[in-house]
Amino acid sequence: MSLTTPVAFTPEQLAEVRRLQALYPDRRAALLPVLHMAQDAFGYISLEVEEYVAGLFDLTPAHVHEVVTFYTMFFQRPKGRHVVAVCHNLSCHLAGAPRILAHLKERLGLEVGQTTDDGRVTLLSVECLCACEHAPMMQVDDRYQFDLTPARVDRILEELR
Amino acid sequence: MTGERILTRNFHRADAHTLAAYRETGGYTAWEKAQTMEPTAITEEVKKSNLRGLGGAGFPTGMKWSFIPKNHAGPVYLVINADEAEPGTFKDRYLLEREPHAVIEGMLIAARAIRSSVGFVYIRGEYVEPWRRFSAAVREASEAGYLGGGFDVVVHRGAGAYICGEETGLISSLEGRKGWPKLKPPFPAIKGAFGAPTIVNNVETICHLPHIINRGAGWFASLGTKTQGGTRMYSVSGRVKRPGVYEASVALTLRQLIYDLAGGVTGNGRLKAVVPGGSSAAILRADEIDVTLDVDGLKNAGTMAGSAGVIVMDETVSIPEALMVVARFYAHESCGQCTPCRECTGWIYKITERIVEGRGRKEDLDTVLDVARRGVGTTICAFYDGAVGPYISYIEKFRDEFEALVTK
């Protein structure tokens, strides 16, 4: 998503915002769902996006900023086209998550939190994704990837464009 | 030994998540029956069943419902906690994906009991596939007329924060704020979501309701122990041959679960330790596993049933390293509202990290124990008290292993 993308929802998206707000006794409750929408639309939640969303709710930008920074799934800086998030909690750790993470760092030439130069992949390590029966595992965008080995990680990476 | 599977009986079916499959196996017949029952009769039935909350706290479900003020004039909300994030636990993910209509039918029954006209299902943001599956089931249930005629379901996605599984943190998050827990009292049943009386129930808890209504409180109670009825879903992971979800009576022992259901220990085959109820539960040594898995059984053993997330460690596992991983989790997930929790979780993580890296000091172990104990009971929610379970038990039960590292 380029930086010149104007921060404004389409009329259809605005209608969805109003629909979401009407689902709750207090429209503020639609803030998380609308922030998910905003991230999908604008790539990440910049200060400008926070201000725009605040306007849709008649909230202060400070309130929206407080919410955005509290949750791990909202990105405050541009992210890659794909997000690879390796679970590093206990069951995955016991099953070799550190080895999987080291392999990813080497293959991508990244540290955790960084994005490849071509904007293809952002690498994260995260707390429990609750798929411990398939440890080690990771989340790639919307999908959980189970029972990882370095070879399987390589195949998954190859499919990411 | 393990008896009948109830919640997971259709898990083998590829179409179990569809309305057609759910109806084929008796789905929504309990809701038909519940509509002929007085709301108070439903609550009484659930009380008699000895159903206890299966999200972690183990509070009696019927009793929780009865705290809703009688003849309350305004709205009452039902909130389903599907913010599953307790390390070692993955059962709700299966229910959302494979039995979403059981969640909806359970919600209809609970809503009638507490006189609620709208329910919110708060699903952790990372659970994208479960969220899609469950949302599709809500659409099916609406089209079939189960929803929309007096009770509606709103599906709400979280955005990645463990504390939002704590019921008041969840409510704050649902209201469009950061997920800071609230002081109790007032309890949510008096003043919860949007200032109205609110019941927060876990996904698995709610899925038991159709079966209790159809088959009776006595039947459900007889499946378990004196103080807890039914079966529950155990999430088993770590060093076992067959990790996965197993449904069995709450009277099952930890030994039976590990050896008979999950196939025994991998690695060198020798069991070292088990976390029985998600990462917040105190760890048990190999010689402490002849204990039943019900809430009171594990409480008496000095730990907790929690979310029934069972993490198994064989003798190749380093306990200090395991504690470092767990401590990192609590340091990362503390919401930061209460000073003892915010500061101590980070401090303890730093200490455990330097111990594992061979830079530990002799006094470190006692510092962790001292810091951990001082913080207990000083915070708004149970997060810190939960973190203390592993801090203290790992060191007390495996002190030799820690000392071997700090004397290097």
Q: Point out the least confidently predicted range of A5-9, A57-61, A85-89, B134-138.
A: A5-9
- Per-residue pLDDT of B153-195, as tens digits, reads 999 999 999 999 999 999 999 999 999 999 999 999 999 999 9
Whether A65 has a pLDDT exceeding 80, the answer reads yes
- The interface pTM score, or ipTM, of the predicted complex is 0.96
Angle subtended by helix axes B39-49 and B203-215, to nearest 10: 100
Quick one: pLDDT at residue B28? 98
pLDDT band at B71 (very low <50, low <70, confident <90, very high): confident
Residue B268: what pLDDT?
Answer: 84
- Nearest CA-CA distance, residue B178 and chain A, Å: 5
Q: Which residues does chain B have within 8 Å of residue A143's beta carbon, measured at their own beta carbons?
A: 128-129
Distance from CA of A44 to the nearest CA of B (A): 14
CA distance B397 to B284: 8
- Percent pLDDT > 90 in chain B is 98
Q: In this complex, do B237 and A71 lie within 8 Å of one another by their Cβ atoms?
A: no
Answer whether residue B1 shows pLDDT above 70: no
In the predicted model, is pLDDT for residue A5 greater than 80?
A: no
Which residue, among A92, A130, A134, would best test binding to B if mutated, counting the most B CBs under 10 Å from its CB? A130
For residue A29, give how far its alpha carbon lies from the nearest alpha carbon of chain B (Å). Answer: 4
Residue-wise pLDDT for B8-42, tens only, equals 999 999 999 999 999 999 999 999 999 999 999 99
Res. A3: pLDDT tops 80:
no
- Output the CA torsion B88→A98→B364→B396 (10° steps): 30
Which of B75, B87, B161 lies closest to A89 in CB terms?
B87
Per the structure block, which two tokens stand in for B151? 């009770």
Could you tell me if A136 and A100 are in contact, meaning their C-beta atoms sit under 8 angstroms apart? yes
Query: Does residue B2 have a pLDDT over 70?
Result: no
What distance in Å separates residue A130's CA from the closest CA in chain B?
Answer: 5
Identify the closest residue of chain A to B324 by CA–CA distance: A90
pTM (two decimals)? 0.97
pLDDT at B382 over 90: yes
Contacts of B160 in chain A (CB under 8 A): 71-74, 126
Q: Which of A29, A94, A131 sits opposite B239 (nearest CB)?
A: A94
CA distance A126 to chain B (A): 9
Say if residue B353's pLDDT is above 70: yes
Residue B104 pLDDT: 98
At A6 the pLDDT is: 78
Percentage of chain A surpassing pLDDT 70? Answer: 97
Chain-chain contact of B160 with A73 (C-beta, under 8 angstroms) = yes
Number of Cβ pairs closer than 8 Å across A and B?
A: 147
- Chain A partners of B325 at a C-beta cutoff of 8 Å? 88-90, 93
b (16+ CB within 10 A) / e for B263-291: ebbbbeeebbbbbbbbbbbbbbebebbeb
- Segment A123-141 mean pLDDT: 98
Q: Residue B65 contacts by C-beta under 8 Å, 6 or more apart in sequence?
A: B43, B46, B110, B113, B114, B189, B199
Q: What angle do CA B291, B62, B307 make, to 5 degrees?
A: 40
Confidence at residue A31, expressed as pLDDT on a 0 to 100 scale: 98
